Amino acid sequence: MYIPKHFEVTDKKEALAFISANGFGQLISTVESRLFVSHLPFLVSEDRKSIICHLAKNNPQWNSIEEQEVLVTFQGPHDYISPSWYSSPGVPTWNYQSVHIYGKPVLVTEPKKLCSIVGELTKKYESSFEKPWNPENKESLLNMIIGIEISIADIQCKYKLSQNRPESDQKQVAEQLKQKGSVQLSKAMKIEL
Among 8, 9, 20, 36, binds a copy of itself (CB under 8 A): 36
- Site pattern 49..78 for a copy of itself (x: CB under 8 A): ------xx-xxxx-------xxx-x-x--x
CB of 82 to a copy of itself, least distance (A): 5
Residues of this chain, 3-32, that bind a copy of itself according to CB under 8 A = 4, 24, 26, 28-29
Q: What is the C-alpha to C-alpha distance for residues 187 and 193, in angstroms, rounded to an integer?
A: 10
Nearest to 150 by CA among 43, 74, 78: 43
| C-beta of 47 vs 115, nearer to a copy of itself | 115
Distance of CA 47 to the CA centre of its chain: 18
Q: What is the C-alpha to C-alpha distance for residues 118 and 147, in angstroms, rounded to an integer?
A: 9
CB of 77 to a copy of itself, least distance (A): 10
Q: What is the C-alpha to C-alpha distance for residues 170 and 46, in angstroms, rounded to an integer?
A: 36
| C-beta of 51 vs 118, nearer to a copy of itself | 118
| Residues of this chain that bind a copy of itself (CB under 8 A) | 1-2, 4, 24, 26, 28-29, 34-41, 55-56, 58-61, 69-71, 73, 75, 78, 80, 82-84, 89, 91-92, 94, 96, 98, 100, 102, 118, 121-122, 125-126, 129, 131-133, 135-136, 141
